[in-house]
Structure 1
Amino acid sequence: MASNKSKTNIMFSHVYCVGLRIWNNLMKREFLNRGKKDGVLTLKQLNRVQLRFYSDVCTSGKKLNQEISGLKSKMMRSFASVVSTEVKQSAKIINEDLKNVRKTLNDVADAKEREANAMLLRLGEGLDDKDRVTKMIAKLTDDTVNGKNILKVFRLGKRGKGVVRPILIKFDDVKSKEYFFTNLYKLRSLNDDFAHVKLIHDLTVDQRKKLKRILDDAKARETNCKEGFLYRVRGEVGRWKIVKFPVKKESN
């Protein structure tokens, strides 16, 4: 605002500040409404304009503060919601991981407990199972594995008419069991009681499923093989693999 000898001239500039823009608009309006006669604003009018300016600025500032507070509140709620969702998802993932770890540990412990066991199938029911099995093992291994190495021999399942239950054999260690398995080819030399028996490993549920998948795969390969190869499953428990053998040609 500038002044000369006879009157006060009001100069308005284009500004971008909210407060100054309010002041600018008020001054324009007051000048047009109050000072049309000579284009002069009295000190009283100028003070009134100034008071209205401060009032409008305060009102605008209050609205701005309310909008900022509302925005902050929304942001805090959104942030809290995001954090809550992330925490729930993380907790769910951790619980699933713990379940998987627990299952893995249980499977390992179960497999470890079974590794020195063997299952005897198709041996007719009798009252002297332990004695018959112990003598059979001692004979096959030339008494290298005998009653001292056999901890338990018992049938699995309930007795039933016409049912031949499998027999679980618990050895004192894996070496005794493995030595017994290396001599299974001698079974045919024993009496008729053991002529049709079958020895298998005592597998966990997961191990049985895995072995079945591998056996099915070997069977499918052999069926689809045009060269006539044989496919057999070999390897230690849990480390099975499919081995291909050429078919033996019959000599003329």
Structure 2
Amino acid sequence: MSPKCAKCLGGTNVKDKDSVLRCSRCDIVVHVKCISTSDSLLDALKNCSGLKWFSDSCVKLPFNLDSLSKSVDASRQDILDKIDSNKNEMITRLEKLDEVNTQVRSEIVSLKMLITSNENKLVDIDRTDTSIRHDIKSLKQEMSTTFASIVSKEVKKNTEIINNEVRTVQKVLTEVNEMKNRESNLMVFRLVESDNDRTDVMKILQHLVEDISEKDVLRTTRLADKFAGVGLCDDLTKEQRQEYKTFVEKAKSMQSDDKENFFYTVSEDQLEDGR
């Protein structure tokens, strides 16, 4: 059963240190509200285990000075220990705070440097942007003045190129058509004129091709003692004849320079390949 308050005789809860005080000498209990004491003294009594509280009746009784001195010394030492403990804790916290402060200062300096660098970059970007805008404006002006002339020159140039290519194609087509018209022809050279030229030509052809008939006669080739010195060739265009003469002259030159008695002549394949 909880003791009653010595002042108001009301019930108490001795476990509630904030609402009751117990005398360290006679063990009576009183409500904190029933006595007149300062808040600072109550805090000291609550936080310092060596600090004792005595009721008014006990304070009036004679004390054992040795016991009181020891109690005071114990309370004093307890207070000093708590002060030292709090002091060390405060020093540790202050040191940590200094470290955090130093780190924050360093980060602030780095941030300022970064801001300055970014400001310089922004200035450079603005300058570059202004320069690019100026270059674009100048380029537009140049393009507006020169585009028409460039297009005109290019159209004229391309027109000339196309015309040259058309002329070249037309020339090639003309030559191909002429070659096509001549490809079935044969020309006979150094054949003695007579009233029987067709018969002589047929004999030459029949000597070369066994199953040839009158309707197949196209005019070409040589052979047989009777026709010695008679030469045959394809019906060539003007350009082909000129090329053929060039090859013949080259063959004659090679023949004259040869020291091993090789015979040089111009074949149809060389004439067709251009070599």
* TM-score, with length taken from structure 1: 0.45
Which structure has greater helix proportion? 2
Q: TM-score, normalised by structure 2?
A: 0.42
**Between Structure 1 and Structure 2, which shows a larger proportion of strand residues?**
1
